[in-house]
C-alpha cells in the first residue's frame, strides 16, 4: 500500500517573558550576596563527601571475579527493554546516556528487524498512528537537532518526514480534520508542524 505523507511548518509562537522586573532585580541582588556563602558551604560538603568516599573504599571488600562476571551477565540481559509493540512489530530500547538536566537518548532495534534503526540515537518519544509509528531520531547530543521518522508497519518502510528540528520536547495532537499537529518546544518559542498521512492505492 502506498502512503503519501505531507508535513509543513504552520506556526512559530514566541513565548512571553514572565516575571516582575522589580522582583527579578531583588532576586539578582540576593543571588550576588548569597553566592559566596553557598560556594563555601558547597566546598565544605564536597570535602566531607570525598573523605567519606575514601574511607568507604578503603574499608570495602573487593569483589571476586565470579561476582563481577555475574553482574556483567545480568547487565547484558537487562540492557534491552520493550519500547512499544504495534501490529506485530516489537521495538526495543537500550539506554545509552542522557543530556545534563535533559532527556535520555537510546539505541533502538526491532523484531522483525528494521535496518534503519541500527547504530542510530533516538529519544524515548514515539507516537503510533495510521498503521505506522513516528519516532524522534537524534542527530546530536550536544544541542537539540532531531529528525521526525515514520515507519510503516505493513511494509516496514522508513521515511524521514522532517530533518534538523531544533527541539527535543515534542507533543503531538490529532486535529478534527484527521491531521496531526506536532508541537516542538524550543524554550523561547514553539514550532508547530502539520502532518498529513494518506493511504494511496
**Could you say which residues of the chain have pLDDT below 50?**
73-77
Q: Answer yes or no: is 178 within a domain.
A: yes
* Count of the separate structural domains present in the chain: 1
Domain that holds residue 98: 2-16+72-200
Give 114-135 pLDDT, tens digit per residue: 999 999 999 999 999 877 899 9
Q: Answer yes or no: is 26 within a domain.
A: no
In whole angstroms, give the CA distance from residue 83 to residue 109: 10
In this prediction, residue 38 carries a pLDDT of 87
In this prediction, residue 73 carries a pLDDT of 47
Q: Answer yes or no: is 195 within a domain.
A: yes
What is the value of pTM for the model shown?
0.66
Q: Answer yes or no: is 51 within a domain.
A: no
Q: 46 exposed, middle or buried (CB, 10 Å; 0-12, 13-18, 19+)?
A: exposed
Q: Answer yes or no: is 30 within a domain.
A: no
In whole angstroms, give the CA distance from residue 116 to residue 107: 11
In this prediction, residue 177 carries a pLDDT of 82
Q: Answer yes or no: is 53 within a domain.
A: no
Residue 108's SS3 state is strand
Contacts of 112 (CB under 8 A, 6+ apart): 89, 156
Q: Answer yes or no: is 66 within a domain.
A: no
Residue 188 C-alpha cell reads as 523561547
Q: Answer yes or no: is 121 within a domain.
A: yes
In this prediction, residue 92 carries a pLDDT of 96
Amino acid at each position: 500500500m502506498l502512503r503519501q505523507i505531507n508535513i509543513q511548518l504552520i506556526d512559530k509562537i514566541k513565548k512571553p517573558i514572565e516575571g516582575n522586573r522589580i522582583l527579578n532585580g531583588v532576586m539578582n541582588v540576593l543571588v550576588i550576596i548569597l553566592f559566596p556563602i553557598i560556594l563555601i558551604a558547597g566546598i565544605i560538603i564536597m570535602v566531607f563527601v570525598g573523605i567519606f568516599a575514601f574511607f568507604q573504599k578503603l574499608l570495602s571488600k573487593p569483589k571476586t571475579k565470579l561476582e563481577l562476571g555475574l553482574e556483567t551477565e545480568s547487565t547484558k540481559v537487562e540492557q534491552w527493554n520493550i519500547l512499544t509493540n504495534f501490529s506485530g512489530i516489537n521495538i526495543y530500547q537500550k539506554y545509552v546516556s542522557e543530556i545534563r538536566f535533559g532527556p535520555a537518548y537510546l539505541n533502538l532495534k526491532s523484531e522483525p528487524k528494521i535496518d534503519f534503526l541500527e547504530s542510530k540515537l533516538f529519544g524515548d518519544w514515539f507516537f503510533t498512528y495510521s498503521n505506522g509509528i513516528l519516532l524522534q531520531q537524534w542527530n546530536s547530543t550536544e544541542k537539540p537537532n532531531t529528525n521526525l521518522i515514520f515507519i510503516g508497519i505493513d511494509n516496514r518502510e522508513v521515511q524521514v518526514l522532517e530533518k534538523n528540528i531544533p527541539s527535543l520536547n515534542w507533543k503531538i495532537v490529532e486535529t478534527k480534520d484527521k491531521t496531526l499537529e506536532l508541537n516542538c518546544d524550543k524554550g523561547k518559542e514553539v514550532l508547530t508542524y502539520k502532518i498529513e498521512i494518506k493511504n494511496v492505492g
